[in-house]
């Protein structure tokens, strides 16, 4: 079972120019569509005089949530080449936006594809790629007398404690590497019969 994925650690920039057209590329780590919208709105405001603001994103550990947008460029000449660069590096939770200033000379579909691909590649080449774990949330309810046994399992398996409530009935929320979630649940359930 695959429980790691690659993403970028911090925003990065790239640049490409062809026949006086300028292509400014920006790569960002994103986890929600709201983040994508906010970042894109920021670039549209900042580069309000640019002709196009094309982008692509891939989100989720399974890389199923993706989109490629040409923003007025001929179909599949901008978004798809950008998406292709994200996919070629097997990244996820990534948005790449390329802002184009038209230089007065038409590049043709082949030229546009090359330019958007090169700009996106430059931004991703300047990114720091990191591997992250796919984690699963485990919520466990137990009676107060079981506290020491539960905390012993937590100490041994070392999940991140997301939240906890200690009262007559206690609850703890743990986040752990997906491949270990089943073992954590089994060990906690075994405490009920121990």
pLDDT in tens, 164-193: 988 888 999 999 998 899 999 999 998 877
Helix (H) or strand (E) holding 65: strand 65-69
Domains for the chain: give ranges and CATH numbers: 4-131 (3.30.230.30), 134-191 (3.30.70.600)
**Cα-flanking dihedrals φ and ψ of residue 41, to 5°?**
-60, -40
- Name the pTM for this structure: 0.78
CB 26 within 8 A of CB 122: no
Question: What mean pLDDT do residues 156-169 have?
Answer: 89
Range 72-76 average pLDDT: 94
Contact 34, 72 (CB under 8 A): no
Q: What is the pLDDT of residues 90-142, one digit of tens each?
A: 999 999 999 999 998 899 999 999 999 999 999 999 999 999 888 889 999 99
- Sign of dihedral through CA atoms 171, 175, 176, 179? positive
CA 13 from chain centre, in angstroms, equals 17
Q: Considering only CA atoms, which of 163, 161, 157 is closest in space to residue 183? A: 157
The predicted pLDDT at position 191 comes to: 87
Neighbours of 97 (CB within 10 A): 27
pLDDT at 48: 95
What does residue 44 show for φ and ψ, rounded to 5 degrees?
A: -65, -35
The pLDDT of residue 194: 56
pLDDT digits (tens, 9 = 90+) for 21-40: 999 999 999 999 999 999 99
């Amino acid at each position: 079972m695959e429980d790691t994925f690659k993403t970028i650690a911090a925003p990065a920039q790239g640049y490409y120019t062809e026949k006086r057209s300028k292509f400014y590329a920006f790569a960002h780590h994103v986890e929600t569509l709201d983040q994508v919208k906010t970042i894109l709105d920021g670039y549209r405001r900042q580069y309000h005089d640019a002709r196009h603001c094309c982008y692509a994103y891939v989100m989720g550990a399974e890389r199923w949530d993706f989109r490629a947008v040409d923003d007025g460029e001929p179909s599949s000449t901008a978004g798809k080449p950008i998406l292709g660069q994200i996919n070629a590096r097997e990244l996820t939770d990534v948005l790449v936006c390329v802002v184009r200033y038209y230089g007065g000379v038409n590049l043709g579909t082949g030229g546009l594809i090359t330019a958007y691909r090169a700009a996106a590649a430059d931004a991703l080449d300047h990114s720091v790629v990191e591997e992250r774990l796919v984690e699963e949330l485990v919520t466990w309810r137990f009676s107060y007398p079981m506290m020491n046994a539960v905390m012993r399992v937590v100490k041994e398996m070392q999940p991140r404690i997301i939240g906890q409530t200690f009262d007559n009935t206690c609850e703890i929320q743990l986040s752990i590497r997906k491949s270990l979630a089943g073992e954590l649940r089994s060990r906690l359930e075994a405490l009920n019969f121990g």
